[in-house]
């Protein structure tokens, strides 16, 4: 486990460099608020439309993260509910089940914020 974390951190640090090595990017979202040529399904040049490629990458990453977080939230709710149901009156197990559900709700809030990151970035940059 201790060797996996540095590899993941290194991968996330190198990922932007790998992505920036491309000449073009394929847009999966409609970004016409940046430029009229940045429409969904278009292949645009990174040199001409770098902002479109950046926002496209942000959208893709937040979609992946939100899917992973949604799956984890569902899993934590199921585990927490199972712990409460099978507690048999033991207060420690009920508290642990409640904590799992509480962490799942916090995860859901993170999930909602992850989906809002592109809009927040757009508002900060004034686009």
Scan for tokens 């496209």, then name that residue. 56
Between CA 30 and CA 44 the distance in angstroms is 12
Secondary structure (3-state) at 45: strand
The predicted structure's pLDDT at residue 95: 93
Q: What is the pLDDT of residues 44-97, one digit of tens each?
A: 666 666 777 777 777 788 788 778 888 888 999 999 999 999 988 889 999 999
The predicted structure's pLDDT at residue 119: 75
What mean pLDDT is predicted for residues 98-111? Answer: 88
The predicted structure's pLDDT at residue 20: 56
Tokens of 92: 């420690």
Q: What is the pLDDT of residues 6-43, one digit of tens each?
A: 766 666 666 665 555 566 777 777 777 676 777 777 67
What mean pLDDT is predicted for residues 106-124? Answer: 79
Report the relative pairing of strands 43-45 and 24-26 from DSSP bridges.
Answer: antiparallel
């Amino acid at each position: 486990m201790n060797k996996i974390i540095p590899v993941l951190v290194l991968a996330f640090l190198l990922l932007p460099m790998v992505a920036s090595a491309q000449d073009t990017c394929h847009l999966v979202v409609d970004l016409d608020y940046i430029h009229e040529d940045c429409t969904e399904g278009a292949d645009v040049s990174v040199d001409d439309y770098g902002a479109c490629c950046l926002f496209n990458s942000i959208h893709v990453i937040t979609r992946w993260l939100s899917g992973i977080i949604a799956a984890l939230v569902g899993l934590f709710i199921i585990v927490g509910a199972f712990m409460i149901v099978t507690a048999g009156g033991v207060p420690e197990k009920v508290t642990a089940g409640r904590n799992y559900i509480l962490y799942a709700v916090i995860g859901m809030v993170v999930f909602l914020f992850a989906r809002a990151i592109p809009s927040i970035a757009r508002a900060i940059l004034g686009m």
